[in-house]
Amino acid sequence: MSYTKRLLERERQLGRPVRVGIVGAGQMGSGLIAQVERAKGMTVSVVADIDVQRGVGAYNRAGRQDVTVVTDLADVPALVEAGKAVVINNGLDMPHLPVDVVLEVSGVPEIAAQIALASLFAKKDVALMTVEADITVGRFLTAVAESGQSVYTICRGDEPVEALKLVEYAEDLGLTVVSAGKGKNNPNRPYDVPADVEAEALAKGMNPRMLCEFTDGTKTQLEMAALSNATGFPIEKHGMHGPVASVADLATKLIPKADGGILETNGPVVDYVVEGDVAPGVFVVIKSESDVVTHELDYLKLGKGPYYTLFRPYHLASVEAQLSIAEAVLDRRASFQTRYWTTEVTAVTKTALKAGTKLEGLGGNHFRGWAVPAAEATEAGYVAIALAAGSVLKNDVPKDHTITFADIELDETRPLVAMRRLQDSLVARGIL
């Protein structure tokens, strides 16, 4: 039975739809609000945004005019019970409100991690769109959810999740996964700064720093590290191969060198490709280990074995996110979680920087993301990229330098830092 039918049956039984609280009403959040409001069996009960009028506008664009901006949280339960749309100005209040699922889409790792943890402590289900937070403390958040009654998940619609679904599909068919990944949507310009993309960003209605996070490669490094940590598949080299490839090339390029490809191992590995026609899709390269299955796949025109490509030519971002809400509420299951600590995304300087510099966040002027094996990052003392943001350099560092804990003054009072310290300790002791 489809999620829609099951959600409607749930609504019939309980007398109300799934109540969703959304934190963040920017470009992505606004799309989520509109999409959830169109879904049957669920509704956006509360929106939190520091700019309450942005929340009101997002509701209005979704067709809701019955919007109340609330300053006294004591008023919220009655409004939600009456089916009204509520806007508040502080996402950290969301876990205390009568919603079933907290959907976080702030895009700020520091805020996202705090909201996720607070929501899990409040026994709410949590769906994250901010993959940067999961990259930093996702193993910890997964463990907290598993120890209680809640579901913690990254939302459907982004490339890591949709690539994972292809991996699961291949494994369910008994096929051997060799590589998995995505096509990169944007040019790969690792030294881009916000000023370089400002005109393009304004034309697209984007924040220049958000676009810069794409063009300098950080977003791809983060997304593929997330896929690595969900599957346990490693990356084969720092930053991955990232070859030029079209869909037709995948099954001949992202395979072992012994069979004419570029991989040093037999896989499975996580990687990405540029140019070609793969973006905005995701892929899995598989190998048939059976002559009978190879013959069948050749006959079915999947390609010329033993290597084949499973390809999804799109990912629908906020349009698909509601699937994770349904999966969490109805099946008590996550669409995507960090299950391993395989790959870390470090911060590599875009230019030489002086001691005393307060490091900007992702997509800024100071550093880009670069994926490395997690064990190597730990041994070398590399700082996770979200922790580097907002820290102050203690010494001069050159261009293309991977920032270490020895390079920075890290504010240990930051909740994200505290969560990561605890996660690192539990991972080191084999508890996570």
Q: Where are the domains of the chain?
A: 3-157+318-331, 159-315, 343-428
Q: For the chain, give the number of residues.
A: 432
Return the structure tokens found at 64.
């809701």
* pLDDT in the model for residue 260: 97
Q: What is d(CA 325, CA 320) in angstroms, rounded to the nearest whole number?
A: 10
The predicted pLDDT at position 187 comes to 81
The 3-state secondary structure of 199-218, one letter per residue: HHHHHHCCCHHHHHHHHCCH
Alpha carbon distance 399, 347 (integer Å): 11
Query: Which residues 6+ apart lie within 8 Å of 354 measured at CB?
Result: 393, 396
Whether 27 contacts 201, CB under 8 Å:
no
What distance in Å separates the CA atoms of residue 321 and residue 131, rounded to the nearest whole number? 13
pLDDT tens across 16-71, in order? 999 999 999 988 899 999 999 999 999 999 999 999 999 999 999 999 999 999 99
Q: How far apart are CA 366 and CA 353, in angstroms?
A: 8
**Nearest to residue 182, comparing CAs of 267, 247, 109, 233?**
247
Parts of the chain with a pLDDT under 70: none
pLDDT tens by residue, 129-148: 999 999 999 999 999 999 99
Domain 3-157+318-331, CATH 2.60.40.650 — does that match?
no
Q: Which two tokens stand for residue 166?
A: 């292809």
Containing 42, the helix (H) or strand (E) segment is: strand 42-48
Q: For residues 229, 230, 233 and 239, what is the CA-based torsion angle, rounded to 10 degrees?
A: -50
Is 208 buried (19+), middle (13-18) or exposed (0-12) by CB count in 10 A?
A: buried
Residue 70 tokens read as: 């609330």
Distance between CA atoms of 80 and 37, rounded to whole angstroms? 15
The pTM of the full predicted model, rounded to 2 decimals, is 0.95
Distance CA 182, CA 132 (A): 17
The phi and psi torsions of 236 (rounded to 5 degrees) equal: -90, -25
Specify the CATH architecture of the domain 343-428: Alpha-Beta Complex (3.90)
Only one residue has tokens 């019955």, namely 66
Which is nearest to 290 in space by CA: 189, 428, 173, 424?
Answer: 173
